[in-house]
């Protein structure tokens, strides 16, 4: 018999596209979408939507929302747009990557007018990713041209 605090239920995400409960899959299972082992994933096989879990999470806590192919593509584009800014901040200010990325998300949250806690690549939807990429590209154009921000 277990004594002490009750163990919280496993966080089982709901698919944003069909409303079904996601299933936890590992690399050796048929539903696993990658050829190589990228760690366990929460997946909705009918929608081909999935999300990874936090590293070392004992409860398989999802990184964010399930993403279909379109959302995964926009997340990858946003990541590609944001990382050069992060690297530049690390070089310029001498801070670590985590601090630079955190400040980048804070800046993006302000520009997108959303809660800072909800401004992370794993939590954004397609429209927010597109808007964030436009903000970053606009910032880069202004910076290169010397126009005031």
pLDDT at 53: 92
Helices (H), the chain: 69-93, 97-112, 126-145
pLDDT in tens, 6-38: 767 667 899 999 999 999 999 988 889 988 888
Across 31-45, 103-117, 123-137, least confident range: 31-45
Local structure of 4: helix, strand or coil: coil
Where do the domains of the chain lie?
A: 9-67, 69-145
pLDDT at 14: 94
Angle subtended by helix axes 97-112 and 126-145, to nearest 10: 100
pLDDT in tens, 80-105: 999 999 999 999 999 999 999 999 99
pLDDT at 143: 87
CB atoms under 10 Å from CB of 85, counted, come to 19
Question: Rounded mean pLDDT of 113-130?
Answer: 94
To which residue do tokens 């001498």 refer? 94
> What is the C-alpha separation between 17 and 11, in angstroms, rounded?
18
Burial of 98 (0-12, 13-18, 19+ CB in 10 A): exposed
Which whole-number Å values give the CA distances from 118 to 72, 79, 109, 113, in the listed order? 17, 16, 8, 11
β-pair partners for 24: 42
pTM for this structure?
0.82
β-pair partners for 62: 53
Cβ proximity of 77 and 134 under 8 Å: no
């Amino acid at each position: 018999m277990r004594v002490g605090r009750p163990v919280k239920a496993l966080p089982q995400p709901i698919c944003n596209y069909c409303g079904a409960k996601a299933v936890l899959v590992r690399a050796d299972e048929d539903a696993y979408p990658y050829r190589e082992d990228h760690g366990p994933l929460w997946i909705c096989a009918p929608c081909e939507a999935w999300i990874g879990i936090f590293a070392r999470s004992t409860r398989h806590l999802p990184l964010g929302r399930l993403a279909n192919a379109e959302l995964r593509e926009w997340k990858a584009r946003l990541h590609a747009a944001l990382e050069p800014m992060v690297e530049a901040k690390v070089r310029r200010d001498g801070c670590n990557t985590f601090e630079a990325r955190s400040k980048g998300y804070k800046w993006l949250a302000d520009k997108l007018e959303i809660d800072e806690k909800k401004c992370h690549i794993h939590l954004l939807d397609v429209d927010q990713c597109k808007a964030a990429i436009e903000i970053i590209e606009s910032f880069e154009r202004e910076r290169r041209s010397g126009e005031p921000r």
